[in-house]
Structure 1
Amino acid sequence: MKRGKMVKNICIFEDEGFKNLLPLCYLRPVFELRCGISSLKEKIAGFYPEAKLHLLCRDYLVDVTKRRSKETSVNDLKIEGNCLFINGRILAGKDLSRRIPLDGAEEIALSEEVLIYARLTPKTIAEVFREDGHLRNTTIELLKKKVKVTKIKLDLISYPWHLINYNSEAIKDDYQSIGGGKVEGFLDKAATVYGDRSQLFIGESSRVEAGVVLNLTEGPIYIGKNVKVRPFTIIDGPSFVGDESIIDGAKLREGSS
């Protein structure tokens, strides 16, 4: 691969680290786990909007993953052109596309022997994935012999409690990426809002009723579509309330999703 040639594909993959995230990922690939407002997959893909997205997951999850990602190829490595493979356990920060650019030389990057990304040509892809199409430890050892190896340090979701530990900061990062400061639904005048209202988003057809307290002093609050927030709920930011939720008199502390 010549330096500077643009990679037109990204492939978000599961590695064997999924085992430490069970039972959360028995019925979904690790990259569909949510941390903050969006899933790990959505965070990663959002940094590469110009690239075609491919997914690699456990075989028994292929059908359900195809249904959830209808326009994305799943476990199909007949990829035209170069491809940037990215570990689906990465918690993508603000500078992911700078630290892992689409273009560049053919190489792999490791963090404590965990494969973080691999930028590969079609020839290398065909050679290293010829057995069963999965990125296993044996695949990584083969890649080490074929392409340049570099080191990188990024946040990885390795255990279930990491989703909780990183959640507050992930909500803040997602809110900045998505953009907020809008009330598309109904916010009762008798609801109390503390802090900067640019840190509040209320989605379409959602209702925040009288007696609700929204505390934005420590971070944003994102409320999705068709949500009902009933009296006398207290929500401390950073917090995320997903679509179709009903919050009835609850207390959501900072870092809640």
Structure 2
Amino acid sequence: MTNFILYDDAAIRPHLLPFTFTRPVSDVRCGIMTLTEKWVHYLGKTPSFLTEPYLQYKFPLITTHDNTFLNGAVCATVAIANAVEKLQVGQVLVGSNGITIAYRSPFEVVQPQTELSVIPFPEPITVIQHVWDIFVENGAQINADFAAITHQRTSQPLNDPHTHCYAPERIFIEEGAKVRAAILNAENGPIYIGKNATICEGSVVMGPFSLGESATVNWGAKMRMNTTIGPHCKVGGEISNSVLFSYSNKGHDGFLGNSVLGEWCNLGANCNNSNLKNDYTNVKLYSYATHTLEDTGRLFCGLFMGDYTKAGISTMFNTGTVVGVNANVFGAGFQSKHIPSFSWGGAAEGTTEYRLEKAIQVAYETVSRRNVRFGEIEQDILRSIFEQTRPRL
């Protein structure tokens, strides 16, 4: 039996920073599940990871004499999983867009399409190749994940007499979830409410929408289409076409649109972001791959925030802003379009380098408050990111 390994495509990983500073490519969330969870669901097996050396301790690699290497940026489907399981040793499965989907080999292959026998996969595939793909593909992935997760299952009943549902057959509620005096509209796409999640009084939720396990939508919130709130997140205000990975908070009023937040982020009260330029031209976004502003080809593009980053009350983020890992952002006026990792301050006040040990201590306190372990491995990952991203004098 073959051994499955999710690998980071070297041509894609830099374009998914800052999120891939702290995780393999496949641990990006798009839809209800992460890309890893999609592969696990369709293959029925748990893979290991081939990622950056400093991440390998947290995401271990297991190899055997017979391995199938899976591209971590590919959104798995039933058809893809079936094709992968038919691969023979020495074969590579290639999508119609030229992307390697998977290959089977005793060892890692640098150029699988030139070194192995190519098996074409004719159906369209979804690949998360840029940070904006996360929210662009999110609605379609919510639909796909919803169908996969709820197949031949029955939703828990919604017994609250003060909640009104449109298209209730497209609403799925897991065990322990609570909905109180809300409006759920699934006419344009499904609504998934995870185990022990809560939607509080006065909230309006439009599908496609996903609320992860033990996550909370606060009172009077407005959750617009194509939005994913990951496990253990707490959100309020207005959120549109955005993805929060897990354990992140945007609990107060304010707008977040066409945006992606990693894990352990916090937006203070009245934080807002712009997602559309006044002149209606394409948004340009800072790229870690080229260290330049690149045209996204999109009119709507908002905020991209790496893990452990926090923003003070009333912080304003400009259209197409990228914030790195473990930054502390605050102050008047619109912030810079790129805020490096371990920055402290804001555009008006100026920024300084966040003291490493202080940053790690704050991250430890943030995680510990949720009774989650933050050990030496997590601390070493932050130290490595600090050294990678620190300006060279």
Task: Give TM-score scaled by structure 1 length.
Answer: 0.77
Choose from 191, 209, 222 the match for 2:180: 209
- Aligned-partner SS, 2:58: helix
Choose from 138, 147, 155 the match for 1:182: 155
Query: CA 1:150/1:8 → structure 2, altered by over 3 Å: closer, same or farther?
Result: closer
Question: Which of structures 1 and 2 has the larger relative contact order (alpha carbons within 8 angstroms, sep 6+)?
Answer: 1
Query: CA 1:105/1:75 → structure 2, altered by over 3 Å: closer, same or farther?
Result: closer
Within 5 A, what are the aligned runs for 1:1-257? 7-16=1-10, 17-49=12-44, 51=45, 53-65=47-59, 74-77=60-63, 79-80=64-65, 82-104=66-88, 106-111=90-95, 114-120=99-105, 122=106, 125=107, 129=108, 139-140=110-111, 144-145=114-115, 147-152=116-121, 154-179=125-150, 181-183=154-156, 187-195=159-167, 197-210=168-181, 212-248=182-218, 249-257=220-228
Question: Does the CA contact (< 8 Å) of 1:183 and 1:200 recur in 2?
Answer: no
Task: Give TM-score scaled by structure 2 length.
Answer: 0.52
Equivalent-residue separation in structure 2 for 1:189 and 1:158 (angstroms): 44
Equivalent-residue separation in structure 2 for 1:13 and 1:220 (angstroms): 31
- If each structure's helix is expressed as a fraction of its own residues, which one has the higher value? 1
Match of 1:71 in 2: none
1:154 deviates by 2.4
Equivalent-residue separation in structure 2 for 1:227 and 1:117 (angstroms): 35
Counterpart AA for 1:223? I
Counterpart AA for 1:75? L
Question: Does the CA contact (< 8 Å) of 1:187 and 1:207 recur in 2?
Answer: no
Equivalent-residue separation in structure 1 for 2:198 and 2:46 (angstroms): 37
Q: Which structure 1 residue ranges, 5 or more long, are not aligned?
A: 1-6, 66-73, 130-134
Equivalent-residue separation in structure 2 for 1:64 and 1:54 (angstroms): 11
User: What's the RMSD between the two structures over aligned residues?
Assistant: 2.2
Question: Does the CA contact (< 8 Å) of 1:36 and 1:171 recur in 2?
Answer: yes
Question: Does the CA contact (< 8 Å) of 1:238 and 1:254 recur in 2?
Answer: yes
1:117 deviates by 1.3
Q: Which structure 2 residue ranges, 5 or more long, are not aligned?
A: 229-393
1:75 deviates by 2.3
Equivalent-residue separation in structure 2 for 1:181 and 1:256 (angstroms): 23
Equivalent-residue separation in structure 1 for 2:126 and 2:189 (angstroms): 21
Counterpart AA for 2:50? L
Question: Does the CA contact (< 8 Å) of 2:87 and 2:103 recur in 1?
Answer: no
Query: CA 1:62/1:105 → structure 2, altered by over 3 Å: closer, same or farther?
Result: closer
Equivalent-residue separation in structure 2 for 1:228 and 1:206 (angstroms): 6
- Aligned-partner SS, 2:22: coil
